[in-house]
Amino acid sequence: MKLIIQIPCFNEEKTLKNTLDDLPKNIAGIDEIEYLIINDGSSDKTTRVAKEWGVNYIVNFTQNKGLAKGFMAGIDVALENGADIIVNTDADNQYRGKDIATLVKPILDQNADIVIGERPILNISDFSPLKKKLQRLGSWAVRQASKTDIPDAPSGFRAFSREAALRLNVVNDYTYTLETIVQAGREKIPIISVPIETNPSVRPSRLAKTMFGYVRTSMLTILRAYLVYKPLKAFWFLSLFPIIPGLVIWIRFLSFFFVNGGAGHIQSLILACTLIIIGFVCIMIGILGDTIGANRKILQDIQYHSRKQYYDGVKIASPVEKKECRIYYR
């Protein structure tokens, strides 16, 4: 059983060594542990720190591409190098390395394919009261969209089985954390959370410049993911907003029409028809999206089998002996 721990990095030379030092060297049930760094266009000495420490793999981006693309690039390299379990953690040492054993245990026990570390949000002193409330609100929204019971959706501390990693698809450029939960819930991939502890924060989050920007982007990400996986239900709900007022106005027009013998109120009829037409357009968009969704499922299945065939072939053909640090340029 091989575990690869991946760490997305962007200008992390000051914190990376402490993070790497904290990672476990052995875990019960794991035969081999390797370490992977995704250098997301860093302009400092992040890559040098990783090489000097002795990581096994480095994925180098020539320019910053964002957390989502870095995450997926790391997943691809981990699969290519035979990972049976992949753990993602942060380079700022927010998450404790000793909790990785807790994170991978449900996968080793075959109780889940995705495990997410649940931070003690209410007890984190670095989070303001507003941020704590927004974190809980965002996680609630993800639970509604994904039909899961994950209490800490934004947590980047998570483990994936090889099977789950082969099925992952992230289409947004912002972050993988929310979309992968919605995908797992809607695709019936076994997903659970486990409680973890965190270290004190050493720097502000780089995911968003402002709290408002973070909330706005997160909500758009959740909405987009939900529209991808449940377009008919989403657009059917949206169609109610124009259809219900349209029907009310139309009934009002009919009452005036029969009471007053058809005189006047033609504007109400035009408005009612316009609103009802908009509503039916929303429904048609939902039906079209649902049809596209059926094709997406077929394409995802083809992608899964193609990736499985390719990466499993690479895994079998890979030499057994350990090599020096491999660098991948993307």
Helix (H) or strand (E) holding 33: strand 32-40
**Confidence class of residue 303 from pLDDT cuts 50, 70 and 90?**
confident
From CA 65, how far away is CA 40, in angstroms rounded? Answer: 6
Average pLDDT over residues 73-94: 93
Give CA angle at 156 (172, 14), nearest 5°.
105
Predicted local distance difference test score (pLDDT) of residue 207: 60
DSSP string, 35-55: EEEEEES-SSSHHHHHHHHT-
- The set of residues, in sequence order, having a beta carbon less than 8 Å from that of 308 and lying 6+ positions away, is 166
**39-73, pLDDT tens digit by residue?**
999 999 999 999 999 999 999 998 888 888 999 99
Query: Bridge partners of 327?
Result: 58
Question: In Å, how far are 42, 192, 194, 251 from 104, measured between CA atoms?
Answer: 29, 11, 10, 60
* Total residue count of the chain as it appears in this document: 330
Query: 2-228 has which CATH code?
Result: 3.90.550.10
**232-271, pLDDT tens digit by residue?**
888 999 999 999 999 999 888 888 877 776 566 788 889 9
Residue with tokens 């019960």: 28
Residue with tokens 């480095």: 58
Question: In this prediction, what percent of the chain has a pLDDT beyond 90?
Answer: 49
**Confidence class of residue 19 from pLDDT cuts 50, 70 and 90?**
very high
How is residue 3 written in tokens? Answer: 């575990």
User: Distance between alpha carbon 37 and the CA centroid of its chain, in Å?
Assistant: 19
**94-136, pLDDT tens digit by residue?**
899 999 999 999 999 999 999 999 998 777 777 778 778 877 8
Q: Does residue 277 register a pLDDT over 90?
A: yes
In eight-state DSSP terms, residue 198 is B
| Number of CB atoms found within 10 A of residue 140's CB | 12
- The set of residues, in sequence order, having a beta carbon less than 8 Å from that of 24 and lying 6+ positions away, is 33, 97, 98, 100, 101
* Residues 4 and 34 sit within 8 Å (Cβ to Cβ): yes
Question: In Å, how far are 135, 147, 229, 315, 326 from 78, measured between CA atoms?
Answer: 30, 29, 27, 10, 12
From CA 246, how far away is CA 250, in angstroms rounded? Answer: 6
- Angle formed by the axes of helices 211-229 and 129-146, nearest 10°: 0
**171-186, pLDDT tens digit by residue?**
777 778 888 998 898 8
Chain mean pLDDT for the chain: 87
Average pLDDT over residues 286-291: 91
**Confidence class of residue 190 from pLDDT cuts 50, 70 and 90?**
very high
